[in-house]
Structure 1
Amino acid sequence: MNMNQSNPIKQFTFLAIGIYIILYGFPFPLDQIPLTHEFFSKYVIALKEKFILFFGHSILGIEKFEKIQMTGSGDTTFDYVSIPANLFIAVLSALVLVLIGKTRKYAASFYQWTLIYARYFVGLTLITYGIAKFLEGQFPGPSFYTMDTLVGNISPMGLAWRFFGYSDTYKIFMGLSEIIAGFLLLFRRTAILGALVSISVCLNIVLVNFSFDVPVKLFSSHLLLFSILVLLPKIKPIFEFFMLHKPSSLGEIKPKIYNKKFKVAWIIANIYLVGVVPVSRAIGHVQSQKFRTMENEWEGLYSGFDIDSNRPWNKLVLEKNYMVLQSENGPKEYFNIQEIKEEGEILIKNQKDEKNPHHLYIKKLDENQFEILLNLGEKEILAIGSKKEKSSYELVKRGFHWINEYPYNR
């Protein structure tokens, strides 16, 4: 990368961008190394969180501002405040470094290293995203619960998740695209190609998140931004080659390594990040999805029960490891299936009563009539109804057709 070492404006710009990249990505890659989080990164994270809270309270004047733990959202108020807070630290740090005049020799090399950091951060994230597409975790296939929900009652995010979850073929395509882009970014010789693929992949992710109100808008936008920054130093030769049809060379992205010990450490880190981390993430994903593979011979949507004031629900869903009681207009009640015993006995638990499991007994009366006995603590509910299989839903039974004389759009 050509960088005028005597130009303080360029030094400041590249330092500020580089510091921001590291601040946003931290604690990566320390969170991928055993024990480092417990002994180091968690304390730095705690300090960073305190500063963001201070920035939100004192600088931005946000009242009742706190970090909500484990929300599943990446677009919380805390996440939004962290952006200007990180920018503030990055700009201030870069300004101080330029003013004390210690950046001329190392500014260009530092920025090159931060682009490598961005490559690995985006690359391993995309690989993780891609692996998830091959499992049930991110986009589950059609379930009784989702297929029985009115489309008008589905959130925009829920609609997108159901759309992507329907087709295994499309999920595989998305997963392969993300994995290929991720692995290309991890290697120096394929990094520019990886950035090009990553930009197209991340742009699609960003558009989905913004179009369907998926709360990962900030994170996906940063993945796109970092991919663009990786490509940016080579944009001139790429433009000359594709648009002006001139012969051009991308050159090699190779940062300066100052001594042999650092080189050995860098090689070991490369092997670990490229070889070990993707495999460990894949294993972790598979293990986290074991509960979804639970066999449940009583799967189905049970309904058509006789009207009974003692029973506030009119539908019962059994699928894999969970059960849902659904009333006509009231709230749904969720249970985890602990064990499926012989003769239709099922042990279930909900969040209200984790210690003592409840009992559900199912007995088949005839071809499509079932007797359901549900014991919820001291309350016993008996109901007789019918069972609906997945194959009876049009979404499942329609399937794929090469030939369609007329559009089948319902």
Structure 2
Amino acid sequence: MKITPIIKALILFPTGVYILLYAFPFPLNHIPFTYELFSKYVMALQEKYILFFGQTILEMESFEKIQMTGSGDTTYDYVRIPALITLSFFIGLVLSLLKYTQSKGSEFYAWMLVYARYFVGLTLISYGVAKFLEGQFPGPTFYSMETRVGDISPMGLAWRFFGYSDTYKIFMGLSEITAGLLLLFRRTSILGALVSIAVCLNIVLVNFSFDVPVKLFSSHLLFFSVLILLPQIKPIFDFFILHRESSLEKIKPHFTQKRPKIIRLLIVIYLAGIIPISMVSSHFQSQKFRTMENKWEGLYTFSEIDSVRPWNKLILEKNLMVLQSENGPREFWAIHEIKDNGILLIKNQEDDSKPHELKIKKSADDQYEVQLRIGDKKVDGVGTRKDKSSYELVKRGFHWINEYPYNR
């Protein structure tokens, strides 16, 4: 059955508009000053529309946007999908019915696939670079190894699993960076889409299987990757499945005149060169806080718990201090500064005023004297120190030969 131009436009325009609405303000969020001058106003307008859609169309009386939760699967994010689909359909319908734009559906959609390529590509590069650094999947920590497996969330279990192996993190990072780089260039975009589909499918399955709250965003990365590949699916199917001779469509330049070609080249240099470099730079800059050297790292265990000191464990690791009892609540503190003679300045999230103080001193019998001063309150304790090498998870390591499985 032959698809009429208007039906084709009714498919391509809404799909292209949805890609644009979902991915915006990319790539403006990578360009200095554009957020304050333009992006924030458009984003605020979109937010008002989504709130209107939820409150009025879906009749969700208490619906609101929760700011900065770290989750991409909030109620607002779910309402955003049908809201954008509805808006995309109406905009696409108008464009399909107008005589001037009706014949432009294929061209508009092709440009939106280019837009999707850069959106998915740069996102995957950012994800991939993070795998090589401290942050997304941290290695075994004192806190994680002192937490019972049964008390770990599904997402926490996945993060600890991935974080254990640097080799596997490097593999994941290289896979994401490779897919992203291939998507940034026309000649490698189809191969990039194939790799991206495999990479994003794995991400989606992990997010759904371990309740990671990035389900909607990762699903869109997979969806956009499929859309990028879809125009070339027939020759790929003919070659790999039917074993027929086939060839991909010839890549034609979008511009032939000199000035548009120069403008395009500058845009490509910025998107495929400057932005990836700036993302890598920002990732490395974020490591300053996460990679603090702390010679006092360890798990300090004290023999008694009382009303003055209701905790018997103290964890020091990089820029983090944790106080906890065997089954009681935990207190988290940030290490602000490490001074000489075992003095650490600490802060908590609720009090950003003058830092509190922790003093550590090693005695002759390998015991550690600890004094914690929080305001005017002082807590003393004497205990032992445990290193990471004491944990089986860390000291077991890798073995080429295993006469018997070591599965404790």
Normalized against structure 1, the TM-score is what? 0.97
Of 327, 331, 343, 1:329 maps to 327
Name 1:35's counterpart in structure 2: 33
2:152 corresponds to 1:146: no
Name 1:296's counterpart in structure 2: 294
- The one-character-per-residue Cα deviations of 1:125-154 (angstroms, maximum 9, x if unpaired) are 000000000001100000000000000000
CA distance in 2, matches of 1:288, 1:147: 25
- The one-character-per-residue Cα deviations of 1:181-230 (angstroms, maximum 9, x if unpaired) are 00000110000000000000000000000000000000000000000000
Q: CA deviation at 1:402?
A: 0.5
Of 47, 67, 70, 1:69 maps to 67
2:357 corresponds to 1:359: yes
Residue 144 of structure 2: SS of its match in structure 1?
Answer: helix
Q: Assess, with a 3 A threshold, how the Cα gap between structure 1 residues 262 and 81 changes in structure 2: closer, same or farther.
A: farther
CA distance in 1, matches of 2:52, 2:307: 54
Correspondence list, 1:364-383, <5 A: 364-383=362-381
CA distance in 2, matches of 1:397, 1:58: 58
Name 2:343's counterpart in structure 1: 345
CA distance in 2, matches of 1:397, 1:298: 20
Q: Show structure 1 runs of 5+ residues with no match.
A: none
Residue 308 of structure 1: SS of its match in structure 2?
Answer: coil
CA distance in 1, matches of 2:180, 2:57: 37
2:15 corresponds to 1:20: no
Name 1:50's counterpart in structure 2: 48
CA distance in 2, matches of 1:306, 1:105: 79
Name 2:197's counterpart in structure 1: 199
CA distance in 2, matches of 1:59, 1:307: 56
Of 155, 158, 165, 1:157 maps to 155
Q: CA deviation at 1:38?
A: 1.2
- Number of aligned pairs? 407
Name 1:390's counterpart in structure 2: 388
Residue 99 of structure 2: SS of its match in structure 1?
Answer: coil
Name 1:276's counterpart in structure 2: 274
- Conserved 8 A contact 2:305-2:311: no
Q: CA deviation at 1:103?
A: 2.7
- Conserved 8 A contact 1:188-1:254: no
- The one-character-per-residue Cα deviations of 1:4-30 (angstroms, maximum 9, x if unpaired) are 6x5211111011100000000000011
The one-letter code matched in structure 1 to 2:273 is: G
Residue 102 of structure 2: SS of its match in structure 1?
Answer: coil
Correspondence list, 1:43-192, <5 A: 43-192=41-190
- Conserved 8 A contact 2:137-2:163: yes
- Conserved 8 A contact 1:132-1:285: yes
- Conserved 8 A contact 1:370-1:385: yes
Of 5, 8, 26, 1:7 maps to 5
Q: CA deviation at 1:65?
A: 1.1
The one-letter code matched in structure 1 to 2:139 is: G
Mean Cα deviation higher: 299-308 or 147-156: 299-308
- The one-character-per-residue Cα deviations of 1:230-274 (angstroms, maximum 9, x if unpaired) are 000100000111111111110134474486544332221111000
Residue 224 of structure 2: SS of its match in structure 1?
Answer: helix
Residue 69 of structure 1: SS of its match in structure 2?
Answer: coil
RMSD: 1.4
CA distance in 1, matches of 2:226, 2:255: 25
The one-letter code matched in structure 2 to 1:51 is: Y
- Conserved 8 A contact 1:306-1:384: no
Residue 195 of structure 2: SS of its match in structure 1?
Answer: helix
Residue 334 of structure 1: SS of its match in structure 2?
Answer: strand
Normalized against structure 2, the TM-score is what? 0.97
- The one-character-per-residue Cα deviations of 1:64-113 (angstroms, maximum 9, x if unpaired) are 11111111100011110110010011100111112222333311111100
The one-letter code matched in structure 1 to 2:236 is: I
Q: Assess, with a 3 A threshold, how the Cα gap between structure 1 residues 367 and 265 changes in structure 2: closer, same or farther.
A: farther
CA distance in 1, matches of 2:82, 2:353: 45
Q: CA deviation at 1:35?
A: 1.2
Q: CA deviation at 1:328?
A: 2.9
Q: CA deviation at 1:285?
A: 0.5
Q: CA deviation at 1:350?
A: 0.9
Mean Cα deviation higher: 160-169 or 98-107: 98-107
The one-letter code matched in structure 2 to 1:121 is: F
Q: CA deviation at 1:386?
A: 0.6
Residue 102 of structure 1: SS of its match in structure 2?
Answer: helix
CA distance in 1, matches of 2:214, 2:100: 38
CA distance in 2, matches of 1:314, 1:13: 64
Name 1:252's counterpart in structure 2: 250
Residue 366 of structure 1: SS of its match in structure 2?
Answer: coil
Residue 249 of structure 1: SS of its match in structure 2?
Answer: coil
CA distance in 2, matches of 1:210, 1:318: 33
